[in-house]
């Protein structure tokens, strides 16, 4: 009952927010080490999503490659580093035309209180164009806090997160702060096969004096699929929908699409 209540509560929060700057895979909640440990844990991801945006040649694929690692687990918390590279592909110039390259770097330090983890984060995003002229920077730095929690019940695992941050430096973008919530529910069906559902919602507050648009921009993603476990890693196959704030770095317009894709992760 407790697990169902937590899932329902976070799901309601996601539904209220989702309908993004693309969601970079987040550090997952992790149980504390029994003693201080160097490089105690890492997560790796490589993914590609096919996008049903046939009326806009800028968006046919989005891909992510990167990971995060715990540099130090000091039992009562941990220091984490996250690196992610996103390539967005269209078919304007050629069949597979990488027109965007977006970099995310993040460092965080946390404190644990039972099953809950509270982290302070410094988050940097830099956006670039591929095979297109752009001589000015599109980037921002954010200081914020994140709450993480993992719940285990039999063959089901729930990872819940929520973050809020203030934009402390920005180039070109009109963002002032962001808030988001992320929920992943995983169910083990057999030793090899599992199922999962994922929801992410984001609220971006903007300075209307910069570009004259609404002060609140909403984005989010919902997807679900199956997970196939191997000896050293796993393959996830999924489908879903997404609404992305500022999908193109320059035009300040949201885009939405149906997607289907795959993701390679470590066990």
Q: Percentage of the chain with pLDDT > 70?
A: 91
* Domain CATH number, residue 36: 2.40.160.40
pLDDT at 115: 86
pTM of the model: 0.88
Convert the pLDDT of each residue in 162-181 to its tens digit.
Answer: 999 999 999 999 999 999 99
Dihedral, CA atoms, 67, 186, 179, 39, nearest 10 degrees? Answer: -30
Give 39's contacts (C-beta < 8 A, 6+ positions apart): 69, 70, 71
Residue-range definition of the domain harbouring residue 145? 2-266
How many whole angstroms separate alpha carbon 142 and alpha carbon 119?
14
pLDDT at 23: 63
**Average predicted confidence (pLDDT) for the chain:** 90
Convert the pLDDT of each residue in 16-63 to its tens digit.
Answer: 333 345 567 777 888 788 899 999 999 999 999 999 987 899 999 999
pLDDT at 22: 57
Average pLDDT over residues 101-112: 97
- The number of domains in the chain is 1
């Amino acid at each position: 009952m407790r697990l169902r209540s937590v899932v329902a509560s976070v799901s309601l929060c996601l539904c209220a927010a989702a309908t993004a700057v693309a969601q970079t895979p987040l550090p997952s909640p992790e149980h504390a080490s029994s003693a201080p440990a160097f490089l105690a844990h890492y997560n790796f991801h490589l993914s590609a999503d096919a996008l049903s945006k046939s009326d806009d040649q800028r968006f046919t694929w989005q891909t992510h490659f990167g990971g995060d690692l715990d540099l130090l687990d000091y039992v009562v918390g941990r220091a984490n580093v996250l690196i992610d590279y996103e390539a967005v592909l269209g078919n304007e110039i050629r069949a597979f035309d990488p027109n965007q390259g977006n970099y995310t770097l993040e460092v965080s330090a946390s404190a644990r209180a039972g099953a809950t983890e509270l982290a302070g984060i410094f988050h940097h995003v830099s956006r670039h164009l591929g095979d297109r002229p752009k001589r000015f920077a599109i980037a921002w730095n954010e200081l914020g806090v994140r709450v993480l929690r993992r719940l285990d019940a039999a063959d089901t695992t729930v990872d819940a997160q929520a973050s809020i941050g203030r934009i402390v430096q920005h180039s070109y973008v009109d963002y002032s702060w962001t808030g988001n919530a992320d929920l992943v529910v995983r169910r083990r069906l057999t030793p090899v096969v599992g199922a999962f559902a994922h929801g992410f919602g984001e609220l971006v507050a903007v300075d209307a004096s910069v570009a004259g648009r609404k002060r609140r921009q909403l984005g989010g993603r919902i997807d679900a699929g199956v997970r196939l476990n191997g000896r050293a890693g796993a393959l996830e196959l999924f489908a879903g929908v997404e609404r992305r704030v500022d999908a193109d770095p320059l035009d300040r317009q949201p885009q939405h699409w149906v997607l289907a894709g795959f993701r390679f992760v470590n066990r």
